[in-house]
Chains A and B, each alone.
Chain A
Amino acid sequence: MRLGIDVGSTTVKVCVLSDTLDILYTSYERHFARVKECVLAQLAVVREKFGDGQFYACITGSAGLGLAERSGVAFVQEVQAAFTAIRRYYPDADAAVELGGEDAKIIFITGGTEQRMNGSCAGGTGAFIDQMATLLNVSVGEMDELSLRAEKTYPIASRCGVFAKSDIQPLLNQGARKEDIAASIFQAVVDQTVSGLAQGRRIKGKVLFLGGPLYFIKGLRRAFCKTLGLDEEHAVFPDNAPNFMSVGAALYAGSVEARPLSEITARLRAVRSSDDIVTGDPLFADREEYEAFVARHRASDLSFADIRTYAGDAYLGIDSGSTTTKLVLVTPDCKLLYQHYQSNNGQPLDIVLERMREIFALSEGRIRIAGCAVTGYGEDLLKAALKADFGIVETVAHYKAALYFNPKVDFIIDIGGQDIKCFKIKNGVIDSIMLNEACSSGCGSFIQTFARAMGMEIDEFSKLGLFAKHPVELGSRCTVFMNSSVKQAQKEGASVEDISAGLSSSIVKNAIYKVIRAKTPDELGENILVQGGTFLNDAVLRSFELETGKEVVRPGIAGLMGAFGAALYAMENVRGQSTVITAQELENFTYTSSSHVCKGCTSHCNVNVIRFSDGRKFISGNKCEKGAGRKPHSDELDIYQYKYERLLRSVEGGTGKRGRVGLPVALGFYEQLPLWAGFFETCGFEVVLSEKSSRELYFRGQHTVASDTVCYPAKLAHGHIESLLDAGVDFIFFPCESYNIDEHCSDNHYNCPVVAYYPELLKANNERLHDGNFVMPYLDLNDEKSSVRALHRALGAYKVPAKLIRRGLREGFARLTSFHADVVEKGNEIAYNAARKGLPVIVLAGRPYHVDPEINHGIGKLLTSLGVAVLSEDSVFEKGMPVRVNVINQWTYHARLYRAAEYVARHDDVNLVQLVSFGCGIDAVTTDEVRSILEKKGKLYTQIKIDEINNLGVVKIRLRSMLAAVEEQKRRRADEKN
C-alpha cells in the first residue's frame, strides 16, 4: 500500500492508496502547531484500519520538510506532489490554483509547464482568511455564509493582512455591512493570486482548484470563477481537493523503499527538535522578582469613586479605537467612576450606546455629564451620534492623560490593537510623532489572533510567557513575517510558553527599533510612559523594561488612556452646558446604515450613510465634501489639484498627419508629459493620453505585473498601457532614461531604477506589446545630439526628419519650462493667499507621480479640508538653498526634496509632509535625510506612506496630530515671547 502524508502550515492530511492506486482512506486535521503528535495520531488510525503492513510512504508540505529529513522518510516538494496527482486524475487540466494555510501556488500545465509559489511577503492565503475572520469576529464558515449575501465589494489591499486590516477596520467603524466586507476579503484573495502569482500569464482553460480554503469556502470559489471568467465546465473543484497533495505524495512514493508502518511510526516518533532556534533570557528570574515588579506598577493606579453613590458633575471620555472601544467617566478631581474596555466586534456605536445607557441607569440621575470628548478612529461617527462637545485627535488625548501621571513625561509609547504610537515631548510640546507604518506593525491584535489560533484567550496566552525558560527570538518585522517565524519555531519544537514570551519581546523590539527607530534605548528619553491595551500584558511590559533597561510608568488604566485624556480635555475645555445626548434622548435613539457609490466626482467613493432616529445623518467614506452633501471645498489652496490639471492641459490637441502616439500618464510622464506632448505635436503626431488612473485601471493591467513588491505607481503603469492598447493608437511611446534632466543642484542626476527602466518590464511582460507598437528609446535629454539621433532611429517607421525632431525637442522643452513656471507661480499665489487668510501651509513633498489622485488618494483635498494650504516640492524647491547632505545626492527628484526641506526649515508657518510610496527603496535613504534637515531647525517631520490602500483614516490622524502639535508649538513660542 502507499501512504501520503501532507504536513501543511496549519493542517495534516493523510491518505492511503491501494497498490492499484485506488484511494482507500483520507483524513484532514488541524495540527495547532503540534505537528508530530498530529501525524502520529493519524497514523495510529491508519494502523487500526489497515494493520501493520508494508507501506511506500512519502511526506510532503511546507512543515513536513524537517520531519522528513530527521526521520529519513522520503520527501517530495508539495507542488511537485500536486503535479503528480494532477497528471493522473486530470490529464486535461490547463492550470491549477492551490491555496494552503500559508502558501498560494499556481501550476501552469499547458503552454509551457510552470510552477509558481507566492513570495515571502504575500498574504492572500488561508492564514490571511483566518486573520480576517477573527477581525470580523466570525468563523471562516460564517464569513463564507455572509459573503454569499453580499451586494457589493469594497477595494481591500490583499498583499498582506496588516494592509487589509487597515482597509477593513474603517469600513467596520463606518458601519459597512459585514456581508459586503466578507465578499471583499475573498475578492482580495483572488486579486492577490491573480496579480501576485500569475504575473503576466493568464489563467485560462480548464482550471483545477485545490487546497482546504478553496474546498471549504464557497464565496472564495465564486470569486475566483467570476474573476477568471470560468464556467462550470472549466472550473474544477475536485472532491479530494483538501487531500490532493497527500494523494500526490502517495503516488510519488512508488519510487521509494517500502517499510512496515510500525517502523515509519517509530522513526517519526524518534524525531527530536533541533537546536536551530535562537533563544533569549527568561523575563523573570523567579516569582519574587515578578511580585516586586507587579507591586511597583500598582503605584500608578487611579483612585475610584462609586458611581452608585456619587452625586455631581462628571466628564465622559470615549476612545473609539481601531479594534477596541474605551469609555471612562471621571469626577472633577479625576476619580474614576466608570470604565469600560471592549473589543469592537464590528460596531463601536452599539457598544457605546449600550454603555451610556448603563451609565445613566447606574447613576440614577445623580450624575450630570458636564462634558464629553471623543477620540480615535470612530471619532466622527460618535461625535455626531452622541452630540459630544469635542472630537480630538488621539495623540492629543494620550498626551493629556500622560501628563496627569507624570508631568515630567518626555516619551510616550502606546501600543494598541493595531497601532503603535510614540511621541517625544520637548518643552511641553509634542515634538515628534511616530506611528507604525503598515509594514512594521506587530501590535496587540497579532498576539490576540495568535492566542486564538492556539485556542486560548489573550490573557491566558500572554501569562504563559512570564515564566518561560527560553523565550524564542522571533525577529522584528511585520506580522506576516512573524507568523512564519512563529510557525518555524513551533516546527522546531519550541513550547507555547517560549513562543508567548518571544512574541512579547518581538512586539517591543519592533516598536523600539522599527517604529521609533531608536539606535539605543537611551534615545527614548528619561521619563517614559507606556500605555495602550497591549501594555496591560505584563510580559510585554517586562520585555520593554528589559530592552530599554529603564523602569517605566504604566498607569493602571493603560488601556483607557485615550478615553481618560479625552475626559480630561473635556473637563478643561467645556464652557457652559454640554451638548451631549441626554438620558431621555438616548432611550429612543436608533440608527440605520446603508451605502452607495458617490457620483459627485471621478473618485467614486463608497459612501456610507448612517441615519439617526432623530433625523440627522452621518456620512462617511467620502474623500471630499461633495459626498457629504456639502459645498465642495475650493481647490484654490491645493496645488496638487492644479498641477494635475495643468499637466494634462499640456496636450494642445489636434490631428496629426503622421499617426497617433499613445503617451501613458505614468511614472516619468508626470514630469515630462509637457515635453513629449510638445515634441510629438510638433513632429506631426496626434497625442493620445491614457485614461485617468483608477483602481479599475490598475486591475486591467494587473495580469502583467511581474514583481508584486514593486511600488504602486509602477503597477499602475500596466493599466495605462492596456488603456492605450485598447484606444487603438499606432504606437506607445515610453522612453528609458537612466539620467533625468540635470537641475544642477546634485552630484548626479539619475532617475530611480524603476522610473528609468520600467518600459523594459512592461514590454517583456505584456504579450500585446512588440517592437512595432511600443517605442522605448534610451535617452539622456541633457544631450541634444544623441537624443535626436536616438529618437530619429526609434521613429524610423514614421520618417520624421532629424531637423524636425530637433525642433520638436525644443518645443517640448519650452512647454516643460512653461509648465514649471506655472506651477511655481501658482505656488506663490497659494502661499500669498494662505498668508493673507492666516492659514498654515504644508509642503506635501514627494515625486512628480504623487500628483496622481489615485496615487495620493486625495491627501491634498484632505489637507485643504483641514484648513491648510498645500504646496508641492517642485513649487518651492528653487527657493531653498542647494544642500550638501550626508548621503550621496545623485537623483534629480531627491535633490528637489532636500532643497524643499531646506526651504521649509527656514520658514515658520510652513511645514513639510513627505509622501512615500510603499516599496520605494530609495526613499529609505531620503526620509532620514529630510527628517534630519527639518529637525536640525526644530521642525516637525511627518511621513505618509501610501500604497494602493484607499484609506485616509490613518493619514488623517497623522495629519491632525501634526497640525495640533504645530499649533501647540506656535502657542508655546508666543507664550515664551510674552
Chain B
Amino acid sequence: MKKTEQAAVADLRDEYPRFTPEMKHTHKILVPDMLPVHFDIIVNFLRRDGWDFEVLHNDTRAVIDEGLKHVHNDTCFPALCVTGQFIDALKSGKYDPDHTAVMITQSGGGCRASNYIPLIRKALKAEFPNVPVISLNFAGLEKDSGFPVNAKLLLKFIFAIFYGDTLMSLYNQCKPYECEAGASDEARGDCLRAIGDAFERGKYRRYKAIVRSMLERFLKVRRTGEAKVRVGIVGEIYVKYSPLGNSHLEEFLLSEGCEPVVPALMDFIMYCAVNNLNDARLYNKKSLSTPVFGLVYRYLLRVQRKIIRMTEKAGFEPLHDFEHLRKCADKVIHQGVKMGEGWLIPAEMAALAETGTENIVCAQPFGCLPNHIAGKGTIRTLKQMYEHENIVAVDYDPSATKVNQENRIKLMLATARENLAAKQEKH
C-alpha cells in the first residue's frame, strides 16, 4: 500500500440538500407527531419567531406503508414511522416540495437512533430530492443542516417542555376522574392558550405564575375521587409518547378505565445532561462543555423541584425529582448504561412503583437494542424489589397487530385490577 493512500480520506457520501438559514423565510418545516402537547407549545412559539412550522398528524396505514417502503426492514419502528409520516405528507400534495423541509431531533448516542437523519435523507432522495432534512440537536452534529439554536431559544425550549410535562400530567390525573365529560380537555385548552400568551408577551420564564395558573385551572375540574388502576408508561422515547408509535396507548388505557401515568420529557433531557457528567466522572471524559452541562443540570433541577413543590401543595401527584430518579436507578442498574434511554427506564419503573404506580407498560420498538438490557433485562430485578410490580413489555412493530398488543396489555390490567381490589379490601 502506498503511503499517500493511507493519509487520504475517501469521501463516499452522497449529495444531499443542505438547510440554510435563509430558508427560514422560504420554507415550511414539517415536524413528526411525537408529543402532541409539547410540540403544540413549541411550534406555537416558533411560529411567533417567524418560522413556518407544522406538526404532522397523518396517521393512516399509508404512513406505515411508506415507512416500510423506504426504510430497511431491521431499522427500528420509530425511524419507520417518522419517515413514513414525512413521505406520506409530502405525497399528499399539500406541501410544495421545493419549499418544504423536515426536521428531526438527534442525540448522537451509541444507539442506531442517532442515524435517523441519514436514513430519512436516503428515503427522501428517491422521491423528494430537494427537501432538506434539518437536525435539531445540542451536540453540534450535522453542522451544515442544523437548526440554529442559541441560548435564548434553548431557554424557550426548556420552559415549553416543563409546561408540556406539567400539562400532560395534570390532564392525565383529571381525565379519568372527571365528573363532566370533556372538562379536562377544556382545561387543557385553556392552559395551552395561557402558555401561548406567556410566550407571546415574552413572559415565558415566569414559570411559577404559569404553573400556578395551570394548577388552579385543573383544580376547577371536578373529580369523582374513585380508585382507578394507574398505569405507568415507560420505554423508548418515541413509542412511549407518540400515539402513532404506540397505537394510541394513552387513549386505550383511558378507555379501559385506567389512569395513564406518563413520566416527563424533561427527565430525558436531564438524563442526557447527567450522562455527560457521568462520562466525566467515570472516564475522565471532560470537555469544555462539561461544566456547562453541570450548570444547566443544576438550573433545571432547581426549576423542577420548585414545580414539584407547587404541584404537591395543590394536591396533585408531582412528576419525579430527577435526583430521586438517579437514586432509583442505582438500585437497579449502573448509570453507565447510557445508550438509548438506558438507565432512565428502570429508574422510572422503580420511581413509579415507589409512588404507587406499580402497573407499567414498558414500550419499545421491536428488537430495540438498548432495551434488551435496560428494559426487559431489568424486569426480574424490579419484581424482586417491589412485590406487586406488574410490568408488561410491549414490542411495537409495523406488522404486530393491535389485537396482539392490546391482549398483552389487558393481561397486565387484569392482574392490576386484582391487586387494586386486594388493596381496597385491606383498607
A binds B: yes
A interface with B by C-beta (< 8 Å): 62, 65-66, 76-77, 79-80, 112-115, 117, 119-121, 199-201, 278, 437, 439-440, 473, 475-478, 481-482, 484-485, 488, 491, 513-514, 517, 519-520, 706-707, 709-710, 714, 736, 738-739, 748, 750-754, 756-758, 760-761, 764-765, 778-780, 782-783, 785-786, 790, 879-888, 890-891, 898, 902, 919-925, 927-928, 932-933, 936
Residues of chain B with a CB closer than 8 A to A119's CB: 395
Q: Which residue of B lies closest to A474 (CB)?
A: B399
**Complex: A519 Cα to B125 Cα, angstroms:** 10
- Asked whether, in the complex, the Cβ of B411 is within 8 Å of the Cβ of A888, the reply is no
Min CB gap A736→B, angstroms:
6
Q: Which residue of A lies closest to B70 (CB)?
A: A519
Min CB gap A914→B, angstroms:
13
Give the residue of B110, B284, B377 whose beta carbon is less than 8 angstroms from that of A785. B284
- Asked whether, in the complex, the Cβ of A884 is within 8 Å of the Cβ of B110, the reply is no
Residues of chain A with a CB closer than 8 A to B401's CB: 120, 484-485, 488
Known: A738-B279, A888-B117. 12 other contacts (CB 8 A): A77-B407, A77-B410, A117-B408, A120-B404, A488-B403, A764-B377, A786-B283, A790-B282, A881-B9, A884-B9, A902-B12, A924-B75
**Complex: A306 Cα to B351 Cα, angstroms:** 81
Min CB gap A522→B, angstroms:
9
Min CB gap A966→B, angstroms:
22
Min CB gap A928→B, angstroms:
6
Give the residue of A491, A706, A883, A886 whose beta carbon is less than 8 angstroms from that of B14. A886
Q: A756-B110, A760-B373, A881-B9 are in contact. Are A925 and B383 (CB under 8 A)?
A: no
Min CB gap B328→A, angstroms:
15
**Complex: A921 Cα to B112 Cα, angstroms:** 7
- Asked whether, in the complex, the Cβ of A706 is within 8 Å of the Cβ of B403, the reply is no
Min CB gap B132→A, angstroms:
15
Residues of chain A with a CB closer than 8 A to B399's CB: 475-478, 481-482, 485
Task: List, sorted by A's number, 8 A–B pairs whose CB atoms are closer than 8 Å.
Answer: A77-B410, A113-B415, A738-B338, A756-B337, A757-B336, A757-B374, A761-B372, A890-B108
Which residue, A115, A439, A758, has most C-beta atoms of chain B within 10 A?
A115
Min CB gap B8→A, angstroms:
6
Q: Which residue of B lies closest to A918 (CB)?
A: B74
The yes or no answer to B339 lying at the interface (CB within 8 A) is: yes
Q: A120-B404, A485-B401, A520-B126 are in contact. Are A783 and B372 (CB under 8 A)?
A: no
**Complex: A200 Cα to B378 Cα, angstroms:** 11
Give the residue of A514, A882, A885 whose beta carbon is less than 8 angstroms from that of B13. A885
User: Contact string, B392-423, partner A, CB cutoff 8 A, digits 1/0?
Assistant: 00010111111111111011011100000000
- Asked whether, in the complex, the Cβ of A882 is within 8 Å of the Cβ of B9, the reply is yes
- Asked whether, in the complex, the Cβ of B336 is within 8 Å of the Cβ of A62, the reply is no
**Complex: A779 Cα to B285 Cα, angstroms:** 11
List CB contacts (< 8 Å) of B360-392 with chain A: 366-374, 376-381, 383, 387
- Asked whether, in the complex, the Cβ of A888 is within 8 Å of the Cβ of B110, the reply is no
A-B CB pair tally, cutoff 8 Å:
250
Which residue, B12, B111, B114, B400, has most C-beta atoms of chain A within 10 A?
B12
The yes or no answer to B150 lying at the interface (CB within 8 A) is: no
Residues of chain B with a CB closer than 8 A to A714's CB: 372
**Complex: A932 Cα to B403 Cα, angstroms:** 39
Give the residue of B114, B119, B398 whose beta carbon is less than 8 angstroms from that of A475. B398
- Asked whether, in the complex, the Cβ of B376 is within 8 Å of the Cβ of A706, the reply is yes
- Asked whether, in the complex, the Cβ of B114 is within 8 Å of the Cβ of A890, the reply is yes
List CB contacts (< 8 Å) of B97-148 with chain A: 108, 110-112, 114-115, 117-119, 121-123, 126-127, 141
List CB contacts (< 8 Å) of B325-376 with chain A: 332-334, 336-340, 366-374, 376
- Asked whether, in the complex, the Cβ of B282 is within 8 Å of the Cβ of A760, the reply is no
Give the residue of A517, A710, A880 whose beta carbon is less than 8 angstroms from that of B72. A517
Q: A780-B283, A882-B10 are in contact. Are A709 and B334 (CB under 8 A)?
A: no
Residues of chain A with a CB closer than 8 A to B126's CB: 519-520
Min CB gap B304→A, angstroms:
26
Q: Which residue of B lies closest to A517 (CB)?
A: B72
Q: A513-B69, A706-B372 are in contact. Are A79 and B75 (CB under 8 A)?
A: no
- Asked whether, in the complex, the Cβ of A120 is within 8 Å of the Cβ of B406, the reply is no
- Asked whether, in the complex, the Cβ of A750 is within 8 Å of the Cβ of B61, the reply is no
Residues of chain A with a CB closer than 8 A to B395's CB: 119-121, 709
- Asked whether, in the complex, the Cβ of B285 is within 8 Å of the Cβ of A764, the reply is no
**Complex: A751 Cα to B383 Cα, angstroms:** 29
- Asked whether, in the complex, the Cβ of A750 is within 8 Å of the Cβ of B282, the reply is no
The yes or no answer to B68 lying at the interface (CB within 8 A) is: yes
Min CB gap A266→B, angstroms:
25
- Asked whether, in the complex, the Cβ of A65 is within 8 Å of the Cβ of B407, the reply is yes
Q: A439-B73, A707-B376 are in contact. Are A902 and B10 (CB under 8 A)?
A: yes
Main secondary structure of the interface of B (DSSP, over half): helix
Residues of chain A with a CB closer than 8 A to B69's CB: 513, 519
Min CB gap B247→A, angstroms:
12
Residues of chain B with a CB closer than 8 A to A114's CB: 383
Residues of chain B with a CB closer than 8 A to A786's CB: 282-284
Give the residue of B10, B114, B339, B371 whose beta carbon is less than 8 angstroms from that of A888. B114
- Asked whether, in the complex, the Cβ of B141 is within 8 Å of the Cβ of A888, the reply is yes
Give the residue of B6, B65, B127, B369 whose beta carbon is less than 8 angstroms from that of A921. B369
**Complex: A701 Cα to B141 Cα, angstroms:** 41
Report, nearest first, the 3 A-B pairs whose CB atoms are least far apart: A780-B283, A761-B377, A750-B110
Q: A76-B414, A115-B411, A778-B282 are in contact. Are A753 and B373 (CB under 8 A)?
A: yes
Q: Which residue of A lies closest to B403 (CB)?
A: A488
Q: Which residue of A lies closest to B409 (CB)?
A: A77
- Asked whether, in the complex, the Cβ of B381 is within 8 Å of the Cβ of A764, the reply is yes
Q: A77-B414, A485-B399, A753-B340 are in contact. Are A932 and B12 (CB under 8 A)?
A: yes
The yes or no answer to B181 lying at the interface (CB within 8 A) is: no
Q: A761-B373, A924-B72 are in contact. Are A62 and B403 (CB under 8 A)?
A: yes
Q: A117-B411, A120-B366 are in contact. Are A760 and B334 (CB under 8 A)?
A: yes
**Complex: A488 Cα to B401 Cα, angstroms:** 8
The yes or no answer to B151 lying at the interface (CB within 8 A) is: no
Q: Which residue of B lies closest to A66 (CB)?
A: B403
Q: Which residue of A lies closest to B392 (CB)?
A: A117
The yes or no answer to B1 lying at the interface (CB within 8 A) is: yes
Give the residue of B119, B122, B372 whose beta carbon is less than 8 angstroms from that of A710. B372
Residues of chain B with a CB closer than 8 A to A928's CB: 72, 122
- Asked whether, in the complex, the Cβ of A519 is within 8 Å of the Cβ of B112, the reply is no
Residues of chain B with a CB closer than 8 A to A709's CB: 366-367, 372, 395
Q: A707-B372, A924-B74 are in contact. Are A891 and B110 (CB under 8 A)?
A: yes
**Complex: A513 Cα to B334 Cα, angstroms:** 41
Min CB gap B95→A, angstroms:
20
**Complex: A752 Cα to B115 Cα, angstroms:** 13
The yes or no answer to B49 lying at the interface (CB within 8 A) is: no
- Asked whether, in the complex, the Cβ of A780 is within 8 Å of the Cβ of B75, the reply is no
**Complex: A485 Cα to B61 Cα, angstroms:** 13
Min CB gap A932→B, angstroms:
7
**Complex: A65 Cα to B284 Cα, angstroms:** 55
Residues of chain B with a CB closer than 8 A to A491's CB: 403
Q: A751-B110, A778-B282 are in contact. Are A879 and B10 (CB under 8 A)?
A: no
- Asked whether, in the complex, the Cβ of B111 is within 8 Å of the Cβ of A883, the reply is no
Residues of chain B with a CB closer than 8 A to A756's CB: 110, 337, 339
- Asked whether, in the complex, the Cβ of B407 is within 8 Å of the Cβ of A62, the reply is yes
- Asked whether, in the complex, the Cβ of A881 is within 8 Å of the Cβ of B8, the reply is yes
Give the residue of A79, A115, A748, A757 whose beta carbon is less than 8 angstroms from that of B337. A757
Give the residue of A77, A475, A764, A780 whose beta carbon is less than 8 angstroms from that of B411. A77
- Asked whether, in the complex, the Cβ of B414 is within 8 Å of the Cβ of A476, the reply is no
- Asked whether, in the complex, the Cβ of B282 is within 8 Å of the Cβ of A80, the reply is no
Residues of chain A with a CB closer than 8 A to B11's CB: 883-884
Q: A439-B73, A707-B377 are in contact. Are A925 and B12 (CB under 8 A)?
A: no
Residues of chain B with a CB closer than 8 A to A885's CB: 12-13
Min CB gap B57→A, angstroms:
18
- Asked whether, in the complex, the Cβ of B112 is within 8 Å of the Cβ of A925, the reply is yes
Residues of chain B with a CB closer than 8 A to A121's CB: 366, 395, 397
Residues of chain A with a CB closer than 8 A to B367's CB: 709, 919, 921
**Complex: A473 Cα to B60 Cα, angstroms:** 13
